[in-house]
Amino acid sequence: MLTRRTDSLSILKNDAEGLLFEGTTRVVLVHGAMDRARSFTRLIRHLTAAGFDCVSYDRRGYEDSALQDPFSIESPPGIEDHIDDLAEVIGSEPSIVFGHSVGGTIALCLAEQNRAPIKALVTFESPLPWMSFWQRSGAYAIVPGTEIAQEFAEEFATKFMVRMIGEHRWDRLPPSTKRRRRAEGAVLVAEMSTIGHRLPALDPSRIRVPCLVARGENAAPRHIQAVDYLVGHIPHAIEIVVAGTDHGIHLSNPKRAAELVEIAHRQFTC
């Protein structure tokens, strides 16, 4: 595993152990809100064993991707900054992109712009908070530029984490880990706020990248509607419903997540 930094982004590269003989074999992994690159560890093991080179990174403001000028806790990055960062991570090398949750929304927005060599895109339960069926609430409803108290951001991050991992697991985290997660609250609020109010909103009909749009079998109704909407409007998209997993597929069922990438590889890049 190699680690490098690009303009404050912490980027990890894991080379393939197996060998694929055709198609695009580089995978860029994009994590969701309040997540980090290392949550893809088990997924990366499956992918490298299958012959994929993997690139993962802590999105700006999370874990090891420190906020540097012009960004700060008082002026955190928004959705356009995360889109630009993904374009920089991909660079000029053709790649399959796997975006989990908000990471998938960021990847969809970049794919719409047609300025990165994305050969195939896999998304899993990515939010579309500008759509009427999403019933925008919480930080998605905050107007960008609204002054947000640090105390509010930290409390919002705490509630988000409790909802994601459960109160019991949150309570068991070391105090230092809790402090780091709370400190990421400003980034969380900013990205959700700017995604929710992005203008113009994503136009999926402009995406020319072939997409595999996935969700869990028991996904929340708004995720089901989001997947149906994307598949219905992206010209080259297929839907996959995954049984036996939850929203955090890369953690709870990394083998199945890897299979989604393998399907996209066979279907779209060979």
Is the confidence at residue 2, as pLDDT, over 60?
Answer: no
Residues 41-63 have a mean pLDDT of 96
Residues 29-47 have a mean pLDDT of 97
Question: 198 in helix, strand or coil?
Answer: coil
Question: 24 in helix, strand or coil?
Answer: coil
pTM: 0.95
Question: 122 in helix, strand or coil?
Answer: strand
- What digits encode the pLDDT tens for the residues 141-188? 999 989 889 999 999 999 999 999 999 999 999 999 999 999 999 999
Question: 263 — phi, psi (to 5°)?
Answer: -65, -45
In whole angstroms, how far apart are CA 54 and each of 16, 17, 49, 120? 7, 11, 11, 14
Is the confidence at residue 3, as pLDDT, over 80?
Answer: no
- What digits encode the pLDDT tens for the residues 236-260? 999 999 999 999 999 999 999 999 9
